[in-house]
Amino acid sequence: MRFSIIITIFVLFWIMLVSRIYQISVKSNYYYENLAQMNIERKYFIKPVRGEILDRNRKLLAVNDIGFSIKIAPHLNKKGDKLEKTIDTIVKEFPDLNKTKLLAKYKKKNSPYNHRFIPIVDFIGYDDMIGAYPKLSINKLLQIESETKRMYPAGSMATHVVGYVGRSNAKDNENDAVVAKVGVVGKTGLERQYNSVLQGEMGYRMVKVSATNQEVAELEKVDPKEDQNLVLNIDLELQKKINELFKDQAGVAVVMHVNGDIIGAVSYPSYDPNLFVGGISSKDWKALINDFNHPFTNKIVSGAYPPGSAIKMGMALAFSNAGTSVDKTEHCRGYITIGKNKHKFRCWSRYGHGTVGLRKAIRESCDVYFYNKSLQTGINSISDSLKHMGLGVKTGVDLPRETAGIIPNKPWKMKRYKQPWFQGETVIASIGQGYDLATPLQVARYTAFLATKLLPTPHLAHSVAGKEVKPEYTTYEVNENHLNTIRLGMYDVCNSPRGTAQRTMSNLPIVVAGKTGTSQVVSISQKEKVRMKEHEMDYYSRSHAWLTTYAPFKDPQYIVTVLVEHGGHGGTTAGPIAAEIYKWMANEGYFGNEFKGKIRLKKPQESEKKAKVHE
């Protein structure tokens, strides 16, 4: 027994000994070989210059500011007070820098195995460095290198489109080797969407060094792949105009060619993206996230709103595709009831619209027409058709964090709420309320479908690193006669005396067709016989105001969709904004040279009397 124990101990000892010998003589050889290689060769990475972002007229939206970074030689903390004196030299030239933070940054990155200069100051502007450069450059313990910093010349004018860059975190660095080296990554907007293109690819220099870390020879050099620019369809001057028009209001405007080119997209209020480049202060961050108007949210693609009556054209086509007779008139007496239930589903007109056909239903936005047709059709069929027209699905736009919205049906409600669908919910959905939610860009895209019978994929980029972005479309078959009647109804909305947007949209240089919408954010009690006027309600209880349009009527080229949050009626609140956008576009030659420079544009300080028209 004792002999067995001794033999076991002996065997275990020799296994451990052989294992240790293998570890030292073989396995660690690779480590020390690499370490020795590093002592004679150095690989210096060359950061690529981030590509610029330009508007359609080549005006800069994102550019690189030229400056310098400062690095300090390693291992100074073991050489008396050399480290503190070196940092004092830097702080003397740049008093705004914090000595304590610089020391902490150096010590965190310093290591006995690191023989490279340690980055201590990420960016000093060119003008600030010029005076200090002669003094600092002669110090052998300092290394001054050229550096760039992202800058957004347009400020808040195109923030939600362009986005911004910020310092990368551990997850960013893990996912992208270039980001790990550069230390900067696109956080929002196009900066995020096209980050891999804009940032380029790293270059490097392989050099031989002496025992004292001096360069002896350059062994290899590979230039970085850089300056991969993004040219947009966006017109910066149009962005500025729309921002002016939204002053003192919150909302969204989308201006899009029928082929999907987005030439204007504003989510208002906005913020200055330059705040984020070097790291935003806690004060500025709190101001943004505590603003009830949500300036940080990109409402163009992430804001989901009840579409209200803007959905009615799609509803009519959904009825038609399901075989419901949209040509048959309905009688509107101001409300309907379902079965024996006494609950009244009311029309916006207290007195009703009388006999209503399809064209009149669009022109005067009669709710009862759509209530009755929706009950004849059913929610599942309606939902399927609307999704084919671009509502309740992502548009495919080249922006991150797009929401799909909601166009509900019976399976959706059962899955989400574990409840059956009720007929009253079909009625409410038929006028764009209830569970219905859509983004402004979805509504703009769907309007392009109504205008052309083609559903485009919206895109902000005109060319990416020199490669042009081609238009893309999907199709969906609908009844051509019914679609033409709907278009005539949309023409009436903007041009007929009974149209809900006539007062603001009829006196334009081009003929516009469109649809207003008022989407409620609070329910109206059945006890309320006479509905409270929007301006009498608390601001955040007021309805959102929609107007989605296309022009020219006979040859559709552009879509203008406007949403004013808590703006009340679409014709009176969104209408003036859309009208001024069309005037500006005509004046700039978007509809031909015949209007160019001849149209009086509204100045930002001018007030406009609002028409008392519903919807």
- Can you tell me the distance from the alpha carbon of 610 to that of 594, in angstroms, rounded to the nearest whole number? 29
Structure-token pair, residue 530: 């006479």
Domain locations in the chain as residue ranges: 68-149, 305-541
pLDDT of residue 607: 41
CATH superfamily of 305-541: DD-peptidase/beta-lactamase superfamily (3.40.710.10)
pLDDT in tens, 325-352: 999 999 999 999 998 888 899 998 889 9
pLDDT of residue 27: 56
pLDDT of residue 146: 84
* 3-class DSSP assignment, residue 303: coil
**Cβ(455)–Cβ(473) below 8 Å:** yes
pLDDT of residue 580: 96
Structure-token pair, residue 74: 């390693």
Structure-token pair, residue 497: 């005396």
CA angle 431, 435, 439 (to 5 degrees): 80
pLDDT along the chain (615 residues), means of 10: 73 75 62 56 85 97 92 81 89 91 88 82 88 89 88 96 92 91 92 96 84 74 90 98 94 98 97 85 82 89 96 98 96 92 89 95 96 97 98 97 97 97 96 96 98 98 96 96 98 95 94 93 52 54 90 97 90 94 96 80 52 44
Amino acid (one-letter) located at 430 = S
Structure-token pair, residue 144: 């001054």
Model pTM above 0.75: yes
C-alpha distances (whole Å) from 39 to each of 35, 112, 114 are 6, 13, 10
Closest C-alpha to 262, from 122, 91, 441, 390? 441
pLDDT in tens, 285-322: 888 888 878 888 999 999 999 999 999 999 999 999 99
**Neighbouring residues of 499: CB distance < 8 A, sequence distance ≥ 6:** 363, 364, 492, 493, 505, 506
Q: SS3 string of 312-359? A: HHHHHHHHHHCCCCCCCCEEECCEECCCCCCCCEECCCCCCCEEECHH
Report the DSSP beta bridge partners of residue 41.
Answer: 208
Backbone dihedral region of 465: left (phi > 0), alpha (psi from -120 to 50 degrees) or beta? left
Backbone dihedral region of 405: left (phi > 0), alpha (psi from -120 to 50 degrees) or beta? left
Structure-token pair, residue 466: 């020199």
- Can you tell me the distance from the alpha carbon of 228 to that of 278, in angstroms, rounded to the nearest whole number? 22
pLDDT of residue 609: 41
- Can you tell me the distance from the alpha carbon of 360 to that of 498, in angstroms, rounded to the nearest whole number? 9
pLDDT of residue 117: 87
- Can you tell me the distance from the alpha carbon of 458 to that of 472, in angstroms, rounded to the nearest whole number? 8
